[in-house]
Amino acid sequence: MRVGLIVDSACDLPYEFSRKHDLFVLPVTAVIDGQTYVDEHEPVRTQEFYQSGLLQKGHHAETRAFSPRQIHDLFMEKIVTQFDVAICETVTRSRSLIFQNATEAMNSVMAHYHEARKVAGRDGTFSMRVVDSRQIFAGQGLLAAHTLRLIGQKLPKNVLRNEIESFTNSIYTCVIPRDLHYIRERARKRGDKSVSALVAFLGRTLNITPVIFGLGAEGQPAAKTRSFDTAVEKVMNYAAARVQAGLLTPYVSLSCGLTWIEIEDLPGLNRLRDACERNGVDLLLSQMGITSSIYIGPGSLCLALAAEPHEFNDFQ
């Protein structure tokens, strides 16, 4: 039984990790200044976007989920003919139509896959599940890495699905936005009122950089700092201490909307690397994808790990 894992391009993971494990990336359409781009999480294209400045504020940028028809066609061509069981993990349904559209596509695929498998020479039935990760960015990447670990254990498909859906409730995410005003403007265009005008104003005028912390995508301010570097150091200290205390899966996922030179200069990064190495944990360090960067703003940072219930300040 060959099991395939599908993620969407809001999922931040190192490119080499995704390629090694044969992850299929469901693209998202990015529309920037009226021009349409397909974000397939390809590193060269991502780097070109960072260098071009198209992701900076001042450019009108938005993301659009692939339609159910587009997703159906991709599933029929790339998934049905290659796998016997497929799991599609999407960015949280509260922030995107990807889950809804992928579910509609899955239902259509399940009614029409037989001929495609016959032509491809694959015997037996095909099954599929679309899972709302309830995560964003690095959190979605962490869930994908853990799912691959579970797939390697060759669990029965129903056990696998239950393990995935249970595990997502233990993923803690830290987000450091570089520009609260940017986030508020992007959120306003989506109809999301979670970032108030007052918070954005304070962040811009007083140079306050918050650390947003919580389970999955439902975070709250856990710290307010006077600089991005101070906020980063707090997050790195938290992650290193939490790694030392123990995790529920041996991964820490970290994505950054920065150039690689800037990423390597992040304060506390080497401390986190050392903690991971000492404790047998893989640090999944990646450059934030186009979709993620449009959503939260270039220059931002997202870190995720899975652990027993705790608070951010427990590990400062």
pLDDT tens digits for 243-260?
A: 999 999 999 999 999 888
pLDDT tens digits for 23-73?
A: 999 998 888 888 888 887 788 878 777 777 767 766 677 888 999 999 999
* Average pLDDT estimate for 181-202: 62
By the 10 Å C-beta count (0-12 exposed, 13-18 middle, 19+ buried), 268 is classed as middle
- Same domain as 157, residue 9: yes
pLDDT tens digits for 172-191?
A: 999 998 877 777 666 666 65
- Same domain as 186, residue 119: no
pLDDT tens digits for 86-111?
A: 999 999 998 889 999 999 999 999 99
pLDDT at res. 45: 79
Tokens of 237: 């200290």
- Same domain as 182, residue 294: yes
- Same domain as 127, residue 96: yes
Place of tokens 């870190």: 303
The number of domains in the chain is 2
- Same domain as 90, residue 16: yes
- Same domain as 164, residue 17: yes
What mean pLDDT is reported for the chain? Answer: 89
- Same domain as 9, residue 139: yes
Of 121, 141, 169, the residue that ends a domain is: 169
Of 122, 142, 169, the residue that ends a domain is: 169
- Which one is predicted more confidently, 307 or 177? 307
- Same domain as 156, residue 8: yes
- Checking 100-103 for CB contacts under 8 A at 24+ apart, the result is 101/65, 101/66, 101/67, 101/68, 101/71, 102/8, 102/26, 102/68, 102/71, 102/130, 103/130
Domain hosting residue 143, numbered range: 3-169
Q: 254 by DSSP, 3-state: which?
A: strand
Domain containing residue 83: CATH number: 3.40.50.10170
Domain containing residue 192: CATH number: 3.30.1180.10
Instruction: Give the pLDDT band (50/70/90) at residue 241.
Output: very high
Phi, psi for 92 (deg, rounded to 5): -50, 135
- Same domain as 187, residue 70: no
- Same domain as 296, residue 178: yes
- Same domain as 232, residue 95: no
Q: Whole-model pTM?
A: 0.92
Of 102, 135, 169, the residue that ends a domain is: 169
